Amino acid sequence: MVVIQEVKTRKQKKQFLNFGLNLYKDNPYFIPPLYGNEKKLFGNNHDYCDQAESVFYLAYRDGKVVGRISGILQKASNEKWKQQRVRFTRFDCIDDQEVANALFDAVEQWAKEKGMKEIVGPLGYSDMEREGLLIEGFDQLNTFEEQYNYEYYQKLIENYGFQKDVDWLECRITAPNDEYLEKVKRVSQKSMERFGLHFGEAKNTKDFLKKYANDFFHIIDETYAHIYGSVPFTEKMKKSIMKDFGLVINLNYVAVILDKNEKPICFGLAFPGFGKALQKSGGRLTLCTLFKVLHAIKKPDSIDLALIGVLPEYRMKGVSHALFAKMAERLKYSTAKYAETNLMLDYNYNIINQWKNFNPVQHKKRRAYVKEIQ
């Protein structure tokens, strides 16, 4: 018999945090989230508390935890997209349909009580969190930004009645050949000169954030306004994101383009791939783990592409090509052997086509599901 309990006590919170880590222990492809950040979600002052409600459930059988799930009522998202949805996230489960059904039943009942009409997921509080169920690429190392899951999750979710909402693709890319790179640099330079643009500079990470952080969020909001699942930033979110960025940014993999008034109009942000450094500690930043992370940031084996943003008035004007050329050049002379695009909506042909000269290999695919509440 499966028993579902809402997470309330300190012991239950610990069980919730540790279940996923234990389920994927020694899995070579799983990259854990930062344990400290996950722990904060149980507090009353977490990053999304002013725009979302949360609930956490554990599934027990014979007194042993066999699954977990969280439900999110993302009010800002529902208001923006004119929807009545509850998101499910942090779904982890043994390969047992009874357990999965009980977990989804709990979230669906909670959603009913909130007056919602649909459940969608896996989605986090915003599109800055891990999202989508891995449905292809189970033998590929995950990036820190995205979540790994076992292949049987798809069966458990679809058997409950969920259907596809959207798919994302992920590609592994390498620097393009010199001929292409030089061509793009020549063309993009003309666009830069035509519009009076130039690349911004910074002495260090602190200087970079001080100069460009506020505009950075404005550009993201403008660029991703119509992207699936996006929500506007709050001041609390901005502060937290900047704190995290300050720890992992390597200026070799960041580029920002400024107008003649020194205002950012375009940026590209990538992170050194430091996920492997977190595997043994389960995402806990022990002293040993911190040294590994810092080494990976300085001399990465791979690069995780995070965000690319362009203000609407500069789109389709060749400006983004300058950014891609700059980042490709840095990748070429990096210790990294390749870069990961992370998530691209499969119908976002503009961004997908941007990588066609970067020797792309589509090696992962993710899906968000939706189900009408009965």
Buried-state track 61-94, b at ≥16 Cβ within 10 A, e below 16: beeebbbbbbbbbbebbbeeeeeebbbbbbbbbb
Q: What per-residue confidence (pLDDT) applies to 207? A: 86
Eight-state DSSP code of residue 366: E
Q: How many CA atoms lie within 13 A of 235 on its CB side?
A: 0
| 70 DSSP β-pair partners | 56, 89
pTM: 0.92
Q: What per-residue confidence (pLDDT) applies to 231? A: 86
Question: In a structure prediction context, what are the per-residue pLDDT tens digits for the chain, which is 374 residues long?
Answer: 999 999 999 999 999 999 999 999 989 999 999 999 899 999 887 788 888 999 999 999 999 999 999 999 999 999 999 999 999 999 999 999 999 999 999 999 999 999 999 999 999 998 888 999 999 999 999 999 999 999 999 999 999 999 999 999 999 999 888 888 888 888 888 888 888 999 988 888 888 888 888 888 888 888 887 888 888 887 788 777 777 776 777 888 888 999 999 999 998 888 889 999 999 999 998 999 989 988 988 899 999 988 888 898 888 777 877 887 887 777 777 888 899 999 999 998 888 888 888 899 999 999 999 999 98
Tell me, what amino acid is at 61? Answer: R
Q: What per-residue confidence (pLDDT) applies to 246? A: 66
Q: Cβ contacts of residue 82 below 8 Å, gap of 6+?
A: none
Buried-state track 108-139, b at ≥16 Cβ within 10 A, e below 16: bebbeeeebebbbbbbbbbbbbbbbbbbbbee
Q: For residues 231 and 226, what is the distance between their CA atoms, to the nearest angstrom?
A: 10
| Angle ∠(174,175,178) on CA atoms, nearest 5 | 145
CB 128 within 8 A of CB 236: no
Closest CA to 135 of 160, 166, 99, 113: 166
Q: What per-residue confidence (pLDDT) applies to 213? A: 81
- Tell me the Cα Rg of the chain: 21
DSSP string for 221-279: HHHTTTSTT--PPPHHHHHHHHHHHHHH--GGGEEEEE-TTS-EEEEEEEEE--GGGGT
For residue 176, say if its preceding peptide bond is cis, omega within 30 degrees of 0: no
> At 293, phi and psi to the nearest 5?
-65, -45
Q: What per-residue confidence (pLDDT) applies to 78? A: 94
Burial degree of 104 (CB within 10 A; 0-12, 13-18, 19+): buried
Sign of CA dihedral 342, 344, 350, 352: positive
Q: What per-residue confidence (pLDDT) applies to 263? A: 92
